[in-house]
Amino acid sequence: MKWTGSSKLLVATVVALLAVAAVVWVRRDSSAAEHETASADPNTPWTATWATAMQDGKGAGFQRETLRQVVHTSIGGDTVRVRLSNEFGRAPLTVGAVYLAKHLGTGTVDPATNAHVTFGGADSVTVKAGGTAVSDPVAYRLPAGGELAVSAYLPQPVASATQHGSANRDNYMASGNQSTKASLPGVRSFYNYSFLAGVDVQNGGAEGAVVALGASITDGYDSTWNGNRSWHDLLARRLNGAGRTVGVLNAGISGNSLLQDGVGRSALNRLQRDVLAQPGVTWVILADLGVNDLGGADESTGGRLVAGLRQLIQRSHGAKVKVLCGTLPPYAGAEGWSRAGEAGRKTFNTFVRTRGNGCDGVVDFDAAVRDRADPDRWNARYDQGDHMHPNNAGMEALAGAVDLGLFARADG
């Protein structure tokens, strides 16, 4: 065959197009490889980037639906896993078709970032009543301060899901298996975290994690909805801005107490699960624990709170976790305030501020938000209006009260 000039040009063009196509597929394959099941690096420990405290769902269930739950990460990593809980379930929980993806807003995800999550190599997992499950590692580039959607299909009716009562944001559900879809036709919102207990990462630069253990203030009560404006979120931003790689976890439960079970298990009874068992935990901030114990207080309340705090410190130190003790913010003017409760608060705060208390550091939340002219009350600038919970400015003041120097580097 005789090659003409035009024939040579045609062949050259085809070769060039094939070369471009080859490059495109290599890029696609490379991108896809970032989302495949991976082997965990045995030399890099897991660190939690997000977690929540599980509670009894008390009858809140689902009917063969896809749940798309959104978490705000504190640190990033190259390998990710999720933790599921059926702690309060009365029957086995089957979860299938689990995917991670970048959340774009209002329940929509970027499908190009979809990553399939498996459990023991299987597409689904059945978690026994009272049990938990941890996924296989997934190679996935997760940024710090990002919005990650965890979509999971429930192929069987769930009568009562283990949950965290208030997500302080919208989560999303829709009928059927829609776990990989960018948007969810027929989407409906719900306002808790159901069976999703934690998200962990592997990051070679991670310095550990700090758990904020508290009640409604730590839970983010009445901070901006969908805004990630709780004080622990703001603390995570401060740490990131300072070049630190510290996971910041929210173990607050609205209405929770230090001493008594009620709305969730008491801090004493959930310390192991919500703090000491968290991957990479290095510090715990004992925050607004005790505020709810002051309701119905008597003259012994302050001493009992101090005794409870001592137990938390001893048990945390036994697990080699450093304890940052927080003073209790004021609450005069709030429903449930009493002179006996105020006396108990002062007894507790005096102990926290006393040398030799056993704490590894002190976070003086009280001093950060109280009214200087009337220190039993919130500064009006920070008061949400009920004289117990902060507004957004108050959340910033609480986050600012945490000295970043308390998070000593391992090498320093």
Ordered by start, the domain boundaries in the chain are: 46-197, 207-406
**How many CA within 13 A on the CB side of residue 131?**
11
**Domain 207-406 classification at class level:** alpha beta
Residue 142: which H helix or E strand, with range?
strand 138-142
Query: Does residue 105 sit in helix, strand or coil?
Result: strand
Q: What is the DSSP string of 52-100?
A: ---B--TT--BSSEEEEEEEE-SS-EEEEEEEEE-TT-SS-EEEEEEEE
Nearest residue to 261 via CA among 86, 84, 59, 88: 88
Q: What is the pLDDT of residue 410?
A: 58
The rounded distance, in Å, linking the Cα atoms of 102 and 73 is 11
Q: Measure the CA–CA gap between 181 and 144, rounded to whole angstroms.
A: 24
- Report the pLDDT value the prediction gives residue 47, as an integer from 0 to 100: 98
Q: Which helix (H) or strand (E) holds 283?
A: strand 281-286
Q: What is the pTM of this model?
A: 0.90
Task: Specify the pLDDT at position 412.
Answer: 47
Q: What is the pLDDT of residue 38?
A: 67
The pLDDT value given to residue 41: 81
pLDDT for the residue 15: 35
Pairing of β 246-252 and β 208-214: parallel
Looking up tokens 């023991």 gives: 120
From the number of C-beta atoms within 10 Å of its C-beta (0-12, 13-18, 19+), residue 153 rates as buried
Query: What kind and span of H or E run contains 173?
Result: strand 171-175
CB atoms within 10 A of CB 186: 10
pLDDT value, residue 53: 98
The angle formed by the CA atoms of residues 329, 334 and 337, to the nearest 5 degrees, is 85
pLDDT tens digit at each of 412 positions of the chain: 334 444 433 334 433 433 333 332 222 233 333 445 667 788 899 999 999 999 999 877 899 999 999 999 999 999 999 999 999 999 999 999 999 999 999 999 999 999 999 999 999 999 999 999 999 999 999 999 999 999 999 999 999 999 999 999 999 999 999 999 999 999 999 999 999 999 999 999 999 999 999 999 999 998 999 999 999 999 999 999 999 999 999 999 999 999 999 999 999 999 999 999 999 999 999 999 999 999 989 999 999 999 999 999 999 999 999 999 999 999 999 999 999 999 999 999 999 999 999 999 999 999 999 999 999 999 999 999 999 999 999 999 999 999 999 998 755 4
